[in-house]
Amino acid sequence: MSNLPTPHNSALQGEIAKTVIMPGDPLRAKFIADNYLEDVKCFNKVRNMLGFTGKYKEKEISVMGGGMGIPSVGIYTYELYKFYNVENIIRVGTAGGIGENIKLRDVVIGMGACTDSNYSSQYQLPGIFAPIASYELMEKAVEVSKKLNIKTVVGNILSTDIFYNEDETVLQRWKDMGVLAVEMEAAVLYMNAAKLGKKALCLLTISDCPLQNLSLSSEERQVGFTDMMKIALELS
């Protein structure tokens, strides 16, 4: 294809699998490739946003970093869907738990993603678009988590553009609307998937509960990440 490689991805056609697992941190992508995949090949090093393709239980799967925030993930996921014929993108990351019964280490499956981003304005819709996950991927994730005896909570999450918000009441107000957790990327992933007719899902490990001033240590975060990855890998 004439679009390949893109300014952000040096992969050629066929070097990226139909399913991509996407953490934010490119070094986390390398960790996944090194510890979970076999016959691994690196397909991207542009801007150090590492991407790898390998096999998990004989199935081809890719893993690639997406960066932080909606603009970054918006670029990488759009290119994967549009130019590399990727069908499924599964975001895996950490999040702040704000829901009433959300606890540290819980795995949250983002059924929908509220957002304060202006990303959807490009579509010029006569209303507010509601970004949602692929039901097929979400249903399978729930089934897999039950088989693996991993606790998951399914519901609405928040994808915010603001990490350090001057308004300290914001999270409480989202909590009052039943939002379970806050992160910074899922909404754009869901919007790109909707626009391009693809599938997307966001899996989140609760690493802190900002309204309660609770957080996991780096070692504890790694355990939670492992549980989340067990679910994501079975969706390929």
What one-character DSSP code corresponds to residue 69?
S
Cα–Cα distance, 92 to 18 (Å, whole number): 17
Cα–Cα distance, 228 to 76 (Å, whole number): 21
For the chain, how big is the Rg over CA atoms in Å?
A: 17
Backbone φ and ψ of 92, nearest 5°: -125, 125
Cα–Cα distance, 23 to 28 (Å, whole number): 7
Cα–Cα distance, 88 to 191 (Å, whole number): 13
Which residue among 116, 176, 208, 227 is the active-site one?
Answer: 208
Give the amino acid at 30: K
Tokens at 9, concatenated: 């991805």
Cα separations in angstroms, 94 against 39, 123, 208, 229: 28, 29, 8, 12
Cα–Cα distance, 22 to 228 (Å, whole number): 12
* 208 catalytically annotated: yes
Burial of 122 (0-12, 13-18, 19+ CB in 10 A): exposed
| Longest Cα–Cα distance in the chain | 51
User: Which segments of 28-116 are extended strands (E)?
Assistant: 38-44, 51-56, 59-64, 88-97, 107-115
Show which residues are catalytic.
Answer: 208
